Amino acid sequence: MSYLCLSYLYRGVISEKNIISSKVGMVTFRYTENTGKIRYRTLKGEDFLRLILKHVLPKGFRRIRDYGFLHSKAKKLLSLVQHVLRVQLESITPVPRASFSCPRCKAPMKVLFFLLRPG
């Protein structure tokens, strides 16, 4: 069960000490309710795994957030760090979009809205 704990990350789904027993396809674990009361629950192995796997993020999602000067609220600090380190930022030039043209006269058209059809 230790692979479910993921102790190498900040905090796993359930810690190994909260898994009380796993015998004959049944898993008993301890959890804390929102009220702070400690409860015990016994589930079939499949149901326990289903409960745990609800917390697994889809591929490409990140669970760990940035901290320090990379945090989204630390833009002033990041700017200061870049200034001290003399970081040269590349200017980003917008890529021109292909405009829609009139099928008859080939003049560029201005898009007002898109109509999505069901199906």
Interval 9-41: pLDDT, tens: 456 678 888 999 998 889 999 999 888 899 999
Q: Dihedral, CA atoms, 22, 27, 32, 34, nearest 10 degrees?
A: 170
Asked whether residue 42 carries a pLDDT value surpassing 90, the answer given is yes
Query: What global pTM score does this model have?
Result: 0.44
- Look at 6-10, 65-69, 95-99, 115-119 and tell me which has the smallest mean pLDDT: 6-10
Decide: 38 and 30 in contact? Cβ < 8 Å.
yes
Average pLDDT over all residues of the chain:
81
